[in-house]
Amino acid sequence: MYNAKAVIVGIIIFAGIFSAPFWVNFNGTRDYKRPELVLPKTPNEKECVESVDFMRANHMTLLNEWRDQALRNENRVYVASNGKKWTISLQNTCLKCHENYTEFCDKCHVTNNVDPYCWTCHILPKGNK
């Protein structure tokens, strides 16, 4: 091989450039800080459609499933993992407790740079945004 040194140097440079985003991201200075949310004021703050951990991780998936069930399958009842039945409705179920959009929903969405498309169809709660 006539250009072995150049090929090896090129591979090393390519590997360095290709892996740079991974190395920069692992520098330990970018700790995620969960935003301080104003929790809903309900008689039983622990009662939600699903557990807090489930909702933090999967609420958008759940809302997409609800949309499909309600609009495409005409099913307006959700049975939670604990067996309780809930009405499938963003505005009449979720926003009943999480009414302060700017202090609850928007804080997480802004912190995580997420732009949900819920509000293209739904109306924001009164007095918010």
Q: Which domain holds residue 105?
A: 52-120
The verdict on residue 113 lying in a domain is yes
Q: Using one digit for the tens of pLDDT, what is the confidence trace for 37-79?
A: 777 765 555 688 998 889 889 999 999 999 999 989 999 999 9
What distance in Å separates the CA atoms of residue 15 and residue 116, rounded to the nearest whole number? 36
Q: What is the amino acid identity at position 118?
A: C
Q: What confidence score (pLDDT) does residue 129 get?
A: 46
Of the two residues 36 and 125, the one the predictor is more confident about is 36
The verdict on residue 36 lying in a domain is no
Q: Using one digit for the tens of pLDDT, what is the confidence trace for 95-119?
A: 888 878 888 888 888 888 888 888 8
What distance in Å separates the CA atoms of residue 30 and residue 70, rounded to the nearest whole number? 40
Q: How many domains does the chain have?
A: 1
Strand residues in 19-128 grouped as ranges (E): 77-79, 85-87
The H helix count followed by the E strand count for the chain is 4, 2
The verdict on residue 116 lying in a domain is yes
- Please state the φ and ψ torsions of residue 122, each to the nearest 5 degrees: -90, 155
